[in-house]
Amino acid sequence: MTRADTLSERQEYLRGGFAELACERCAAVVLVRKSSPQQTSVQWTTAAARQCVTELGALVPTCPGLRASIDQAVRTGRLEVP
Ligand SMILES: [Zn+2]
């Protein structure tokens, strides 16, 4: 994959309402979008999944540090909730 491909893919996510968020525990950067207060979409990049210290599940990677970071971002208004 070229760098241009990576960039356009990234911009696509950002346009789709995803925000970049760094896990406070492992500093992995993932793309997060809140579609409702209860629903959170997290897009893991390959690099982020590799960096996260948590043993990631095969289908739905979760990291306790990331969850806390998302809550924090919602509280501070960094992450928009519709
Ligand atoms: Zn993490």
Verdict on whether the full-model pTM lies above 0.75: no
Residue 1 predicted with pLDDT over 60: no
Report if residue 13 sits inside a domain: no
What's the pLDDT at 47?
84
Q: How far is the CA of 25 from the centre of ligand 1 (A)?
A: 5
Report if residue 4 sits inside a domain: no
Q: How far is the CA of 22 from the centre of ligand 1 (A)?
A: 8
Number of domains in the chain: 1
Residue 7 predicted with pLDDT over 70: no
Report if residue 41 sits inside a domain: yes
In sequence order, what are the beta bridge partners of 43? 31
pLDDT band per the 50, 70, 90 thresholds, residue 59: low
Report if residue 29 sits inside a domain: yes
Residue 76 predicted with pLDDT over 90: yes
Report if residue 6 sits inside a domain: no
DSSP class per residue in 6-63: HHHHHHHHHHTT-EEEE-TTT--EEEEEESSSS-EEEE--HHHHHH-SS---SSS---
Domain of residue 65 covers 18-76
Report if residue 10 sits inside a domain: no
Assigned token pair, 5: 């491909």
Report if residue 82 sits inside a domain: no
Report if residue 8 sits inside a domain: no
Q: How far is the CA of 72 from the centre of ligand 1 (A)?
A: 14
